[in-house]
């Protein structure tokens, strides 16, 4: 059953408000305060929506910030049941330092249709649309995935661009890409926007690869699902505590590879509002008693894929 298109504006208001509240802290070097403001703003708007909403992916402990916590109920507590994944402020550091690509993000599905991923690391690989199904695989070497994609695009590896989170854990991936002459687009943060960049030709990113956050992986999968892209992920467990947290969320196969349809089933709405200017949307513009915002909105069943530009009262 599809999600009513009329609900899009309500969810857009939720990311808009979170983005505006976070934007007050742009350049103030206080990522915790920025995140708190985004959480509070998003929660207020979500609680106005006529629905029984449940947060299945929240902020998580890694940011040491107040969560819209997992299993928190939001909405008016009547109406249709939805599972909601949120990242009220993706790019807390970007906001604190007033750097590009800070976003407020959420994804909405029918109850039971989003993977309940713990806040741990996740391996990811993603490519755009229009390729043979299951073209890429996490168990292939980097070189094989790159060559398969190059062949599918009827080009050569050195003409491909791959987005990678700039972390020491990716040294071997980076080394392999450099040996092949692949162009590398390094990002310092922004795991969601990095992954979804493969869905847009203007970004000129052909592949996203590396280890990032599990919750961000599901949010990215929601967006990529709307764009008919390919993504494969696998949770990365570092200790028994992380395994126990996964078990509590119903995950028993710790080596399972998840394709998009395993992470996001059925219809989905994805919203990402700019806090600072970025690759997809512009950031919040403060105007006296109002503000302007831009939100990337994707809705699978209605094939919505556009930028909503709004001028709202504070």
pLDDT digits (tens, 9 = 90+) for 289-314: 999 999 999 999 999 999 999 999 99
Q: pLDDT at position 71, please?
A: 85
Q: Distance between CA atoms of 73 and 92, rounded to whole angstroms?
A: 24
Comparing 5-19, 64-78, 80-94, 245-259, the range with the smallest average pLDDT is 64-78
Q: pLDDT at position 202, please?
A: 87
Whole-angstrom CA distances from 75 to 42, 46, 55, 191 are 11, 5, 10, 27
Average pLDDT of the residues in 66-91? 91
pLDDT in tens, 107-137: 999 999 999 998 899 999 999 999 999 999 9
Q: pLDDT at position 60, please?
A: 53
Q: pLDDT at position 65, please?
A: 47
Q: pLDDT at position 59, please?
A: 67
Q: pLDDT at position 212, please?
A: 96
Assessment of whether the complete model's pTM goes beyond 0.85 = yes
Q: Distance between CA atoms of 20 and 7, rounded to whole angstroms?
A: 20
* Torsion angle of the four alpha carbons 264, 251, 198, 83, in this order, in degrees rounded to the nearest 10: 40
Domains of the chain: 5-113+267-313 (3.30.540.10), 121-263 (3.40.190.90)
pLDDT in tens, 19-74: 999 999 999 999 999 999 999 999 999 999 999 999 999 865 444 445 688 888 99
Q: pLDDT at position 67, please?
A: 66
pLDDT in tens, 149-207: 999 999 999 999 999 999 999 999 999 999 999 999 999 998 999 999 999 988 999 99
């Amino acid at each position: 059953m599809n999600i009513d298109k009329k609900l899009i504006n309500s969810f857009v208001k939720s990311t808009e408000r979170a983005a505006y509240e976070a934007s007050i802290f742009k350049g103030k070097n206080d990522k915790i305060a920025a995140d708190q403001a985004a959480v509070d703003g998003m929660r207020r708007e979500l609680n106005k929506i006529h629905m029984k909403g449940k947060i299945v992916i929240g902020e998580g402990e890694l940011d040491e910030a107040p969560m819209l916590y997992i299993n928190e109920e939001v909405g008016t507590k009547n109406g249709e049941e939805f599972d909601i994944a949120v990242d009220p402020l993706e790019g807390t550091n970007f906001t604190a330092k007033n750097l590009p690509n800070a976003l407020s993000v959420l994804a909405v599905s029918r109850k039971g249709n989003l993977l309940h991923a713990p806040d741990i690391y996740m391996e990811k690989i993603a490519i755009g649309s229009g390729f043979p199904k299951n073209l890429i695989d996490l168990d292939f070497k980097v070189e094989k995935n790159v060559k398969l994609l190059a062949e599918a695009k009827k080009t050569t590896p050195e003409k491909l661009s791959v987005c990678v989170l700039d972390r020491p854990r990716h040294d071997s991936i980076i080394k392999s890409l450099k040996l092949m002459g692949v162009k590398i687009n390094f990002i310092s943060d922004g795991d969601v926007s990095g992954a979804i960049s493969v869905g847009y030709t203007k970004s000129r990113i052909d592949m996203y690869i590396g280890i990032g956050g599990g919750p961000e992986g599901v949010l990215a999968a929601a967006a990529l699902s709307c764009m008919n892209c390919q993504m494969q992920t696998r949770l990365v467990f570092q200790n028994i505590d992380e395994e126990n947290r996964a078990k509590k969320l119903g995950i028993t196969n710790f080596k399972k590879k998840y394709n998009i349809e395993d992470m996001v089933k059925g219809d989905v709405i994805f919203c990402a509002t700019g806090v600072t200017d970025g690759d997809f949307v512009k950031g919040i513009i403060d105007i006296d008693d109002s503000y302007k915002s831009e939100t990337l909105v994707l809705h699978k069943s209605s094939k919505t894929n556009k930028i909503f530009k709004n001028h709202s009262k504070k």
